[in-house]
A and B are shown apart, each in its own frame.
Chain A
Amino acid sequence: MRKGQHRFVAGFLFVPVALYLIFVIWPYIQTFGYSLTDWKGQSQTFKFVGLDNYKALFEDDVFMQAIWHNILFLIFIPAITILLALFFAFMLNAGGRSRAGGVSGVAGSSFYKVVYFFPQVLSLAIVAVLFNAVYRSDGGGLLNGFLIKLGLVDAQNPMEWLNEPNLVLWMLMIAVVWHGVGFYLVLFSAAMQSIPKDIYEAALIDGAGRNQSFFRITLPLLWESVQTAWVYLGIVAMDMFVLVSSMTQNMGAYGGGPDHKSDVMSTVMMRNFQYFGKSGYACAMGVVMLLLTLVLSVVMLRATRRDRVEF
């Protein structure tokens, strides 16, 4: 290699690598170190406390509950979103009058795609404000208003959707699913359209019905997209910071109410970091979040492994 080339390579890499090291990699590494200290953030001094923070974490009921809520989100958000997206993608692509075994789209399918996808470009902050208005705890909320009209909710005593310990997680999930379905629908829909039509034709000649061609052809060939979707929704479920912190009752700061019934790891961590000033303890929570994310990805990839089909 000529000398000029080395200089060029180094020159091009210098700024990106430096930025990435300073703001991403170094803080990631520091977190592990700080998680072993009793650092309070404001003071410059701290001492090494070993695994005390981790021990405290496992006795911290709020954080344990938060992990449990994240796990619930991890199960239900991907499952519901993917099922709905698959259902709608199937309806869009195969619900039309079929000539070649269920491959023609319904009329207006491009209109539906435009509408369904739109929430995805809105920020979660907008989604939070919208659903706060929808879930209002008086007759002025869209959901209460609608249910009062139907006679399902008493107008004098409307539901406090975000203040019911048993409901609050589900109400948050509805908002996430509303936001995400369109994206995964477009993803699955593109994958469905790339399946060659002659496979369906062959199945039709062999006497396969609509359901059979969906479950035995479409779904197996979509498996890789479903897997991708699961990973992305898993990341969403591990986060949830925006919606929880801005939609639920404050437990000091960053939502989590009522009585920590909607707290997730990210909100508990931010509260400990910024509100209680327990930086070292918050770092330990960050490490736990990382470990859970890694475990999750390994489990997911193992559980959903299938042979790759080329076509």
Chain B
Amino acid sequence: MSAPIKETADAPVRGPVAKTPVRPGDDRSEGVVLNVFSHGFLALWALLIILPLLWLVLSSFKTDTQIGGSAFGWPQNWSLDVFGRAWDKGIGDYFLNTVIVLVFSVPLTMLFGSMAAYVLARYEFWGNRFLYYFFVAGAMFPVFLALVPLFFMVKRLDMLNTYQGLILVYVAYSMPFTVFFMHAFFRTLPTAVFEAAILDGASHSRTFFQVMLPMAKPGLVSVGIFNTLGQWNQFILPTVLMQPQSGDDPERYVLTQGLIQLQQQQGYASDLPVLFAGVTIAMIPMLVVYLSFQRQVQAGLTSATLK
């Protein structure tokens, strides 16, 4: 720690920007300039984020000719009809499909991930280290490496374009990270509680479900948020695995896939407001969840990547 401080101590002598020890008045004026400057930049970036999103939402209330005409026309068509049309054009189905998949895939990911992580973190047995690295190594490889054989594997299991197929694949691909993170988390939990439970005669699985898992709740929340967002926003896996396999096989697109599909259709159909309404519908749950759990989402995502 001493090195950087020593350097700054020398700095006034040789640094070009160095000045004599700061006088209070001097510092304040520098502070004001920087304050205005930083607020300027910060506000500019905030606008660059809010304005395009707002503009897109407002565009769902425009007519198609208006959208093609000028970027700054004020919307004229203030009716919620367009959202109904977007819902019927597929967004409703895509939404439902995504929810069906996630309702199963996220809890299963958390359950199997923490089961494996718990056993690896808390029990000594032959091959423990190997299994741990076996799980964690998966996080290093790009998903594209597996894509072709994965497609044929799921095809052989007759699970292409089925919910269960996508659910199992999501669970499997979320394993490395979930095991990695929960392993670290179970390691930090005190052993005394675990021993007390075993001494009291609780079975191993009962200790896990009724003692250890509740204690791991903060970790579960972080990884849960991470996995939910990751699976909700997943694109490449459904693109490969959720294509109708024959003429009478119904479409089971998830939301991300469906939006891109809608973008192509609506481009041809010249009904872009429907597309923008669809995006708005897709954004609303994210916005609501994000604003209500903003702190947990930020903490969950950043801590999850840092561990």
Contact = CB atoms under 8 A, between A and B. Distances in A.
A23 B204 contact: no
Interface string A98-122: 1000000010000111111111111
A68 interface: no
Interface in B212-248: 229, 232-233, 235-236, 239-240
A123 B254 CA distance: 12
A114 B294 contact: yes
Contact of B46 (A24, A115, A142, A274): A115
Contacts of A113: 298
- Assign chain A's interface to a size class: 35 or more
Contacts of A262: none
A7 to B, nearest CB: 9
A6 B305 contact: no
Interface in B89-120: 112-113, 115-116, 118-119
18 contacts: A1-B124, A19-B168, A31-B148, A31-B149, A41-B148, A91-B41, A112-B42, A118-B49, A123-B235, A125-B259, A140-B68, A208-B9, A209-B18, A216-B7, A225-B306, A270-B239, A286-B147, A289-B144
Interface stretch (B80-88, B186-194, B280-288): B280-288
B25 interface: no
Given A133-B59, A208-B8, A282 B19 contact: no
Contacts of A290: 141-142, 145
Contact of B22 (A11, A186, A204, A235): A204
A23 B31 contact: no
Interface string B263-286: 100000000100110010011001
B169 interface: yes
B117 to A, nearest CB: 9
B17 to A, nearest CB: 6
Contacts of B148: 27, 31, 34, 41, 273, 279, 282-283, 286
Given A27-B149, A98-B27, A246-B263, A16 B4 contact: no
A212 B11 contact: yes
Contacts of B20: 207
Contact of B256 (A17, A123, A142, A238): A123
Interface in A216-252: 216-217, 220-221, 225, 228, 232, 235, 238-239, 241-242, 245-246
B255 interface: yes
A140 B240 CA distance: 33
Contact of B48 (A118, A178, A232): A178
Contacts of B138: 20, 24-25, 28
Interface of A: 1, 4-6, 8-9, 11-13, 15-17, 19-20, 22-28, 30-31, 34, 41, 84, 87-88, 91-92, 95-98, 106, 111-126, 128-130, 132-134, 136, 138-142, 144-146, 149, 178, 181-183, 186-187, 190, 199, 202-213, 216-217, 220-221, 225, 228, 232, 235, 238-239, 241-242, 245-246, 265-266, 269-270, 273-274, 279, 282-283, 285-287, 289-290, 293-294, 297, 309-311
A117 B297 CA distance: 10
B290 A20 contact: no
Given A19-B168, A279-B148, 18 more contacts: A9-B119, A19-B112, A22-B172, A28-B145, A117-B297, A117-B298, A119-B49, A122-B283, A125-B235, A129-B276, A136-B71, A209-B17, A212-B11, A216-B4, A216-B11, A217-B5, A246-B263, A293-B140
By secondary structure, the A interface counts as helix
Contacts of A146: 71
B199 interface: no
A115 B50 contact: yes
Nearest to B225: A121
B11 A26 contact: no
